[in-house]
Structure 1
Amino acid sequence: MSGIQHASNQSIKPFKSSEEYLYAMKEDLAEWLGDVYSMEIDVNNVLEVLETGALLCAHANNVTRVADDFVKSSGPTEVHLPASGVTFVSSAHPTTFLARDNVTNFINWCRKEMGIPDVLMFETDDLVLRKNEKNFVLCLLEVARRASRFGMASPVLIQLEQEIEEEIREEMEDLPAQPKPQRSLINIQNLDEMVMHQR
């Protein structure tokens, strides 16, 4: 059973808190990264796996490769695609300068190559020192969302989002065209007279 089928078979309950929602997002990211990179990763260790920045940078390079393959097979596109990857130290240890450098390289790649706006970005300490996990998770989801446009596998949350957007698009196409309201011309002279009489 795919993640989407599993999610749609469960009853949808609103989360009681933002922490529960963050937990669900981290769980989805962990499952997705585990599938994409064939590794043991879950909601409990996802931040520890990513804190050195090595997997993030490897992911950036993978996204760049998929984008390059997309251009080669489809030709030029209007979708913003990453053109270069990231250099990184794969042997970096948590909280070291090399780990911070890796994370910073990933952040710069997100801004420059993926065009992710600052409002969806995170700072190095948000991941390395766990200062703001939410910003980090939201940024990683945005990278996945944008990469899915050119063929990269995406987390279940992004797939569900895309299905909903497609359904809305189809519903909008089925609606009859609404006539645009016509603007009435205003007689400027009468408007001036009205203003003068108000004084």
Structure 2
Amino acid sequence: MPRGKVGGKYDRRMSFDDVKDERMLVMVDKLCCWMGGILDEKLNRETLITSIRNGVLMCKLATEIQVAVDDYMNTAEDPGQLPKKPPQNFATDCGARSMEARDNVGKFLQWARDLRVPESSIFSPDDLLKLKGKMNVVNTLLAVARRAKDCGMAADIDAPPKIANAFKGLEEKFGKKFEHTATAFGGAKTALKETTMTLTSGSAWKIVQQKIDSILQLPGKPSYEIFRN
């Protein structure tokens, strides 16, 4: 069935065509980049709702985040109450309107509550299952992303736009076009070309490296190998 079609008719609720607020659309794009990067899925405004509607991808997202949560609970001085396990025994092959889908969504939402996502940010199952409030769903997932960062997850939902702005400023300063690599930090998982060139302290690429390091603020050696000797 083509995207955005329900019962053979185009359904605007399945995409974000009916959202006119550009700020909201930017949030959707950030979410797609962040979530897609973690799960190695191609998500965008057209595919997000259809991809997550049966709850499977959200439970898989929780499973990935739980790894960071476990590390955080083992190292933080006072981590507080956090989920000890990701959603368990969720159905991986079910329709968007099935009881299994409702159960999947319920398990994810309970895990999000255990993650201490504020109740005011938790969407109602029907916001997703019956397409009553897709932006409520987006807001919940954004809140989950913020809590994941609080618990030490390296994937930062704000990293790609920050890096994009850094590249824009550098292009203006040096009058040259830099290869845009922001999608590597929360976007599609792509192999990055390593460079063997020694970087001098005043070179444009050295400044790019320093800016990205300061944006990500990752402990120890960053997991990426970009602009490095």
Sort the TM-score into its range (normalised by shorter chain).
0.5 to 0.7
Which residue in the other structure is 1:86 paired with?
A: 87
In the alignment, the residues of structure 1 paired with residue 28 and residue 139 of structure 2 have an alpha-carbon distance, to the nearest angstrom, of 9
Aligned counterparts, 1:51-70, within 5 A: 51-70=53-72
In the alignment, the residues of structure 2 paired with residue 30 and residue 132 of structure 1 have an alpha-carbon distance, to the nearest angstrom, of 17
2:153 aligned with 1:137, yes or no?
A: no
Would the aligned equivalents of 1:28 and 1:157 in 2 still touch at CA under 8 Å? no
Which residue in the other structure is 1:98 paired with?
A: 100
Give how far 1:25 is off: 1.1
Would the aligned equivalents of 2:38 and 2:61 in 1 still touch at CA under 8 Å? no
Identity among equivalent positions (%) equals 28
Aligned counterparts, 1:103-118, within 5 A: 103-111=105-113, 113-118=114-119
In the alignment, the residues of structure 1 paired with residue 30 and residue 80 of structure 2 have an alpha-carbon distance, to the nearest angstrom, of 25
Aligned counterparts, 1:151-190, within 5 A: 151-152=152-153, 153-156=155-158
Corresponding letter in the other structure for 1:44: E
Which residue in the other structure is 1:179 paired with?
A: none
In the alignment, the residues of structure 2 paired with residue 67 and residue 108 of structure 1 have an alpha-carbon distance, to the nearest angstrom, of 15
Give how far 1:20 is off: 2.5
Where 2:21 maps in the other structure, the secondary structure is helix
Where 2:78 maps in the other structure, the secondary structure is coil
TM-score where L is the length of structure 2: 0.56
For residues 137-156 of structure 1, what are the alpha-carbon distances to aligned partners after superposition, in whole Å with 9 as ceiling and x for unaligned?
Answer: 11111111011012211312
Change in CA separation of 1:118 and 1:75 when aligned onto 2, cut-off 3 Å:
closer
Give how far 1:41 is off: 1.4
Aligned Cα root-mean-square deviation (Å) = 2.2
Corresponding letter in the other structure for 2:55: G
Would the aligned equivalents of 2:30 and 2:157 in 1 still touch at CA under 8 Å? yes
Unaligned runs of 5+ residues in structure 2 are 1-18, 163-229
Q: Which has the larger radius of gyration?
A: 1
Unaligned runs of 5+ residues in structure 1 are 1-16, 161-199
Where 1:89 maps in the other structure, the secondary structure is coil
Would the aligned equivalents of 1:145 and 1:158 in 2 still touch at CA under 8 Å? no
In the alignment, the residues of structure 2 paired with residue 159 and residue 147 of structure 1 have an alpha-carbon distance, to the nearest angstrom, of 18
